[in-house]
Structure 1
Amino acid sequence: MFIIQSSNYLQFLAKFGIGGAHPGGINLSKALFEHENIQRGVDILDVGCGTGQTAAYLASFYQANVTGIDVHPLMIEKARQRMQKTHLAVNLIEGSIEQTSIEKESFDFILAESVLAFVNQQRALQEIFRLLKKGGRFIAIEFTLPATLPSQLAQEIQQFYGFESLLTKKDWVTLLQQAGFHNIRIQKNKSISSQHEFHFSQHIEPELLDVMDEHMTMNEKYGKYLDYRIYSCTK
């Protein structure tokens, strides 16, 4: 078992303030929400909220009570700036979804947009299950391998992105079931895309300027492996 070294990818996302970095971006998120029963005043948790693009949309469009959590302090700072500017009362927490101090069964709906690949998935899913109300809904847009990869190739992908582990569709379903979720539905929708949103920091380290080029190179080299699925399920 190799140790994943610190990745510049997440720091790049934070310093560039990229909103909608997940596959499909905000437009895919909006399309998914249309098929959920999101009523005014429901309690929603946005896991790995980043700069708060999705959280702000849920608070403004659905008038939901939204909480965002993110482990990166700069992401939380930029999310707070967004909420102040738009006058949205979104509760923002700096911390990890692997373990929180939030009271159990606090949310009707929880989402994670390209977040769980970066954490311990088992601990994170157990915490998400704990935080959901009975009958609550969970949606995750997550990196999903089409097949098991040779170790050297897997190591290169993990080290660049900083992924905790690389999972197949079967792996994800197993983890969701072990956490207690049921009615698991899996989708693949590549017809929806979005333009990235940027909220640049004043100072950006020179090495981070190369990360986008490296990301494009990774996509060209391993494009057929860098896939995702949409997982929706119920507590």
Structure 2
Amino acid sequence: MASFGVGGAHPGGLQLTKSILARENIDQETLILDVGCGTGQTSAYIAEKYRCSVTSLDSNNIMLEKAKQRFLSLNLAINVMHGSVENLPFCDGLFDFILSESVTSFTDASLTIQEFKRVLKPNGVLLAIEMVLEDSLSEEELKIIIEFYGVSQILSELDWYNLFKKTGFKEISVGKFKQQSNKNDIDIDAAPDFLLSENIDDKLLAILEKHEQLRKTYKDKLGFYVFRCSF
């Protein structure tokens, strides 16, 4: 992902991000943390749309450099931070919103969610788009997915709900995003953009092809949900 410089790689893309944020009360005084910001597509949209304070965090330096390039080209004053979501480099109670777009699933979720709660203000909101197991997988199928994506487990909707609840979030709403497809139109917001690195290894192209294959194979068993959590 870093070499391809994929922006909006999460399911639903920028289209889903816009839909989620449109329901929230965001103004110029709002402080938002975009974790796993990648190349900064979401952060740039928020800063341009809402004119609020945005902090973009990622653990990948290549992604962060491409995010910085994006923000510079758009003349956006966005705070860019290198760090881990499992140990956020921020003081307690700092942010009004945290946006996690297909990030928490690839971490130790219990640690990450605790960190989210710690750095949110008392009336803060976590908005998370996460992979959800919708139907049972065989041991072999589970092994293939876990090994390819490097996740330790795949959680069901109830697993996620219970994890948020256990961490201390009291108000938890869950929604499933359904991609609206029209064969006659191309929705740019639903597609990722690319900030390509030079000299991309052929092995990376094979990995991307494998990802697309797995996505199609397990589309009826693996979904993604939007969790809105507050306390």
Q: Same fold (TM over 0.5)?
A: yes
Could you tell me which amino acid in structure 2 is paired with residue 146 of structure 1? Answer: E
In structure 1, what residue type is equivalent to 2:211? H
Residue aligned with 1:41, SS: coil
Counterpart pick for 1:215 among 201, 211, 221: 211
- 2:2 pairs with 1:14: yes
Q: How many aligned positions are there?
A: 223
Letter in 2 for 1:63: R
2:176 equivalent to 1:188? yes
Map of 2:91 onto structure 1: 103
- Check if 1:134 corresponds to 2:122: yes
Structure-2 separation of matches of 1:39 and 1:164 = 37
Counterpart Cα distance in 1 of 2:221 and 2:60? 27
SS at structure 2 position matched to 1:137:
strand
Q: How far apart, CA to CA, are the structure 1 residues paired with 2:216 and 2:136?
A: 19
d(CA) in 2 for partners of 1:175, 1:186:
13
Aligned twin of 1:53 = 41
Deviation by residue 1:137-161 (Cα, 9 ceiling, x = unmatched): 1110000001343322111001112
Question: 2:135·2:220 contact (CA, 8 Å) conserved in 1?
Answer: no
Deviations 1:127-184, CA, capped at 9 Å, x for gaps:
0000000111111000000134332211100111222321000110011011111211
Where in structure 2 are there 5+ consecutive unaligned residues?
A: 181-186
> For residues 15 and 21 of structure 1, what CA distance do their matches in structure 2 show?
13
TM-score after normalising by structure 2: 0.93
In 2, Cα distance between the equivalents of 1:146 and 1:107? 32
* Contact 1:185-1:231 at 8 Å conserved across structures: yes
TM-score, normalization: structure 1? 0.91
The amino acid across from 2:212 in the alignment is M
Distance (Å, rounded) in 1 between the aligned partners of 2:52 and 2:131: 27
Taking the aligned partners of 1:156 and 1:89, their CA distance within structure 2 comes to 41
Distance in 2, matches of 1:78 and 1:164, equals 28
Confirm whether residue 170 of structure 1 aligns to residue 158 of structure 2: yes
Give the Cα–Cα distance (whole angstroms) in 2 for the partners of residues 92 and 162 of structure 1: 25
Partner amino acid, structure 1, of 2:137:
L
State how far apart, in whole Å, the 1-side matches of 2:22 and 2:104 are.
23
For structure 1, the 5+ residue unaligned runs are 1-12
